[in-house]
Chain A
Amino acid sequence: MSLLFEHMAALQVAVPLLSAPVCSLLRGGRQPWFLALAVSWFAFFASISLLIQVLDSGDISYHMGNWAPPFGIEYRVDAINAFVLLIISGISAVALPYARLSVAHEVDPRRHGQFYTAYLLCLTGLLGGTITGDAFNIFVFLEISSLSAYVLVAAGARQDRRALTAAYNYLVLGTVGATFFVIGIGLLYMVTGTLNITDLAERLPPLVDNRAVQAGFAFIIVGMGLKLAMFPMHTWLPNAYTYAPSTVTVFLASTATKVSVYVVLRFLFTVFGPSYGFVGLTFEYIFLPLAILAMFIGSAAAIYQTNLKRLFAYSSVAQLGYMVLGIALGNVAGLTATVLHLFNHALMKGALFMALGCVALRIGAVSINGVRGLGREMPWTFAAIAGAGLSLIGVPSTVGFISKWYLILGALENGWWPVAVLIVASSLLAVIYVWKIIEAAYFGAAPEGRGPVSEAPLEMLAPLWLMVVANFYFGIDADLTTSVAGKVAATFLGGGS
């Protein structure tokens, strides 16, 4: 047993990685799903135990192949990536019980083995990109997750052929982003001679004025910006989320962009540092305006969507704007908001896309007109949408409120009044698009020709409601999440200056 805990950092990624090829060997039927479920739960268990270890006894460093860093690849777990690991594996652990029926409905049964293999690979990539302490290893694992994500998005082609073009655009932009990231790593390597993140952080300070370092910084941020759909590099996101199978949307929307945000945080605060002149400048002159534009343009675009999945996809663009805004604020409260929102946004988007998956299971396409009057026929599903929608708006006692609270605190701490007002104003846009759905579902008349619709099966409702309850639970008792996020933020800012 002690062996298990000693190697937990490696197992966190190695077990899903091994399970993926095993999954592709399975016969089909329920087996691939069951394997993915078991592996997700193991990963969840591993990430919990890692987080506990980190909080109890400090950072964990695991040397792959027993080569000491910076020569070998190091896994380095601290509070922040343990937290992100928890988000990824937690979402996966909840999404998989939900997945079985939804996937059975949306994906060709003969492709289930491959589908779950791709899913496991995606999980592996995200976990591996998060946990690693090696800059190039981040690239490798994020590419595993990205490539499998392209496949998973394209799996929606059975429902709508636009999934193919969405996956293609995602592939092109994602690859450009990854290549930018590689260029950035190369520039940093060129002047420091190391790829290990901790080592990089130690060797960079004398090189602040080196132009290669500055350009490297820019390339890394732009590259990850493409992957995290930072406005205006978000163009791949709406269609990819819209046409992917429901389960895929649930998983990707709650995890994939989060990992990219994490990587940006890691580079901004661990490798570089806000005290470096060029880093500080980007906060105020690049991140801040882009974040605000994202908040408003994303929300405004969401209001005009008729396809509900696309509506929430645009809302994700806006929500990612909040995360970037928290970084731009550059203080502990703002950074706490960003880290918190990684978690909180995963909860609300996870719940919302799960609910849309339930609707898709029953009526096919999820358009605003299609759901008219469904509130009575699928009461649990739509109550979940209402609950998670409130969280998205940021109503008190939901997680969305906690994030916004810290964001506004951060803005006020800097004395940025207009920003605080803009945060609030953008929540009001969320009221509009969420209410559009509520109104259609509860107060609209059913479209003609739609027969009676039954409620989604319990197997899907239970995970959905677990997420909804979490939205409220962590909104009312935010102590756990805020203390971790606050600790992370303090470490980042303390270490950077």
Chain B
Amino acid sequence: MKHHLILRVVSKLLIPFILLFALYVQFHGDYGPGGGFQAGVLFASAFILYALIFGVDNAREVLPSKALRFLVPVGLIIYALTGFAGIVMGGKFLDYDVLAQDPQHGQHLGILVIEFGVGTTVAAVMVTIFYAYAGRTRDVDDEDW
């Protein structure tokens, strides 16, 4: 797809906006629709778009599999550790009230952190799945087309 100049230009323009929108969705979930999951999907789709236009190998340079393999579990770990933090700070598992000076701040902080965890894992998993498919060689009979 190297010769699709228009696609390349448009997507180069588009991708930053998608990323920006993803960030907005990630952190604006408290106020409107959205949250970590949706943001993660958007992040991932930006990468997938990049990979489709510029090739998977280029995408892998931006976001190598090694980094992904690290990011996939990290989101979940962040989430789970937030839960443990609740215990350590004297509350129950996943108790955000105790995370900051007063319950409401605690709740805000807790939600922010776990949404970040969700976003990380979701985005990383989606890209991982895409890479896994892309890394597969095609062996399709012609008649199937």
- Contacting residues, chain A, for B87 (C-beta < 8 A): 3, 7, 10
- Contacting residues, chain A, for B72 (C-beta < 8 A): 21, 24
The proximity string for A residues 68-96 relative to B, scoring 1 for CB distances below 8 Å and 0 otherwise, is 00000000000000000000000000000
CB-contact partner of B93 in A21, A22, A25, A64, under 8 A: A64
- Contacting residues, chain B, for A18 (C-beta < 8 A): 77, 80-81, 84
In contact, A66 and B95 (Cβ under 8 angstroms): yes
Q: In B59-88, which residues have CB < 8 Å from any A CB?
A: 69-70, 72-74, 76-77, 80-81, 83-84, 86-87
The proximity string for A residues 58-69 relative to B, scoring 1 for CB distances below 8 Å and 0 otherwise, is 000011111000
In contact, A66 and B80 (Cβ under 8 angstroms): no
Does B49 touch A at the CB level, under 8 Å? Answer: no
In contact, B91 and A25 (Cβ under 8 angstroms): no
In contact, A65 and B86 (Cβ under 8 angstroms): yes
- Contacting residues, chain B, for A22 (C-beta < 8 A): 73, 77
In contact, B84 and A14 (Cβ under 8 angstroms): yes
- Contacting residues, chain A, for B93 (C-beta < 8 A): 7, 10-11, 14, 62, 64-65
Does B92 touch A at the CB level, under 8 Å? Answer: yes
With A10-B87, A65-B86 already in contact, the answer to whether A25 and B70 are too (CB < 8 A) is: yes
Does A485 touch B at the CB level, under 8 Å? Answer: no
A24-B72 Cα distance, complex, nearest whole Å: 9
Does B97 touch A at the CB level, under 8 Å? Answer: yes
Does A17 touch B at the CB level, under 8 Å? Answer: yes
A24-B92 Cα distance, complex, nearest whole Å: 27
A11-B74 Cα distance, complex, nearest whole Å: 19
**Interface residue total, chain B, C-beta cutoff 8 A:** 20
In contact, A21 and B92 (Cβ under 8 angstroms): no
In contact, A63 and B73 (Cβ under 8 angstroms): no
* Tally of contacts, chain A with chain B, CB under 8 A: 51
A22-B77 Cα distance, complex, nearest whole Å: 7
In contact, B92 and A62 (Cβ under 8 angstroms): yes
- Contacting residues, chain B, for A65 (C-beta < 8 A): 86, 92-96
With A21-B77, A22-B73, A24-B69 already in contact, the answer to whether A66 and B91 are too (CB < 8 A) is: yes
A61-B94 Cα distance, complex, nearest whole Å: 15
In contact, A24 and B73 (Cβ under 8 angstroms): yes
In contact, B80 and A17 (Cβ under 8 angstroms): yes
CB-contact partner of A21 in B76, B94, B95, under 8 A: B76
Task: Name A63's closest neighbour in chain B (CB-CB).
Answer: B92
A451-B58 Cα distance, complex, nearest whole Å: 53
B66 to chain A, nearest CB (A): 11
B118 to chain A, nearest CB (A): 13
In contact, B92 and A66 (Cβ under 8 angstroms): yes
The proximity string for B residues 78-115 relative to A, scoring 1 for CB distances below 8 Å and 0 otherwise, is 00110110110001111111000000000000000000
- Contacting residues, chain A, for B80 (C-beta < 8 A): 14, 17-18, 21
Task: Name B72's closest neighbour in chain A (CB-CB).
Answer: A24
CB-contact partner of A64 in B69, B92, B97, under 8 A: B92
A22-B96 Cα distance, complex, nearest whole Å: 23
Task: Name B90's closest neighbour in chain A (CB-CB).
Answer: A3
A21-B77 Cα distance, complex, nearest whole Å: 6
B96 to chain A, nearest CB (A): 7
B115 to chain A, nearest CB (A): 15
A231-B123 Cα distance, complex, nearest whole Å: 40
- Contacting residues, chain B, for A3 (C-beta < 8 A): 87
- Contacting residues, chain B, for A62 (C-beta < 8 A): 92-93
B52 to chain A, nearest CB (A): 26
- Contacting residues, chain A, for B81 (C-beta < 8 A): 18
A24-B71 Cα distance, complex, nearest whole Å: 11
- Contacting residues, chain A, for B91 (C-beta < 8 A): 66
Q: In A9-51, which residues have CB < 8 Å from any B CB?
A: 10-11, 14, 17-18, 20-22, 24-25
Task: Name A23's closest neighbour in chain B (CB-CB).
Answer: B73
A91 to chain B, nearest CB (A): 24
Task: Name A19's closest neighbour in chain B (CB-CB).
Answer: B80
Task: Name B73's closest neighbour in chain A (CB-CB).
Answer: A21
B86 to chain A, nearest CB (A): 7
A10-B93 Cα distance, complex, nearest whole Å: 7
- Contacting residues, chain A, for B92 (C-beta < 8 A): 7, 10, 62-66
A66-B98 Cα distance, complex, nearest whole Å: 10
A365 to chain B, nearest CB (A): 28
A162-B80 Cα distance, complex, nearest whole Å: 36
Chain A CB within 10 Å, residue with most, of B94, B96, B97: B94
- Contacting residues, chain B, for A14 (C-beta < 8 A): 80, 83-84, 93
In contact, A64 and B77 (Cβ under 8 angstroms): no
- Contacting residues, chain A, for B73 (C-beta < 8 A): 20-22, 24-25
Q: Which residues of A contact B (CB under 8 A)?
A: 3, 7, 10-11, 14, 17-18, 20-22, 24-25, 62-66
Identify 6 new A-B residue pairs, CB closer than 8 A, beyond the known A10-B93, A24-B73, A65-B86.
A7-B92, A10-B87, A14-B80, A14-B84, A20-B76, A21-B77
**A-B pairs, 9 with minimum CB distance:** A21-B73, A10-B93, A66-B95, A18-B80, A65-B94, A66-B92, A21-B76, A24-B73, A21-B77
